[in-house]
Amino acid sequence: MHPNIPVIYEDSQILVVDKPTGIISEDLPAGRQVFLAHRLDKDTSGVIVIAKTEEVLANLQEQFRGRGVKKEYIALVHGKISEFGLIDAPIARNPKIYNRFVIDKAGKLAATKYEIVKQFDGYTLLNCFPLTGRTHQIRVHLKYINHPIVSDSQYVGRKIYKLDVVWCPRQFLHAAKIGFNHPETGKWVEFESPLPEDLKKVLWTMFSYNLQ
């Protein structure tokens, strides 16, 4: 296990951890015979579920495929969003830049719901609920509606990124909650990761806002 990773929950079937920013998801189970049920981008913090057996992994992956897993993210985006919404737009790998993704009608189906937490002058704090699990999904979808995530080095644009990182040193995207049916008991379980101190500091310093 990667050192200094907070454990949210653990039993004989699953391990739920709170991934800090700057760590690759694949590095989390290093040195242990366990399996990632899903992944977060390197600069995204938050809750990740790890399966302890291949059978548990198969169970969780089937729940992901069947959209039975509920996920909630917190994102700070550029611009003022005035109402909740649904972004339903297929995503494909960018043919020109391998590690980026774009909206493409020939891509894989992708859908993200979002709701407003707080509006600021020129920015909006959102709760995002990805209904599918495409790579970079929330980031690409929010850029698509012209509200890219603050300090997103790949999708906000080079000039804006340079301005963003002055006051928000990393991508403002956090995996706050996840819920699914426990692979052994079948009972619904939910796990949470509070907003990290670095992102809380951004909200307080920039907007004098304390997320409860």
The distance in angstroms from the start CA to the end CA of the chain is 31
Sign of CA dihedral 195, 199, 204, 209: negative
> How far does Cα 206 stand from its chain's mean position?
22
* Cα separation, 209 vs 53, whole angstroms: 42
CB-facing half-sphere around the CA of 138: CA atoms within 13 A: 27
41 in active site: yes
Given the residues 11, 18, 41, 43, the one annotated as active site: 41
**Structure tokens of 116?**
């407003």
Residues 6 or more apart from 64 whose CB is under 8 A from it? 37, 38, 133
Residues 6 or more apart from 151 whose CB is under 8 A from it? 161, 164, 165, 168, 169, 170, 171, 172
* Cα separation, 168 vs 2, whole angstroms: 26
DSSP helix, strand, coil percent of the chain (3-state; round to 5): 20, 35, 45
Residues 6 or more apart from 209 whose CB is under 8 A from it? 118, 120, 125, 203
Tell me which residues are annotated as active site: 41
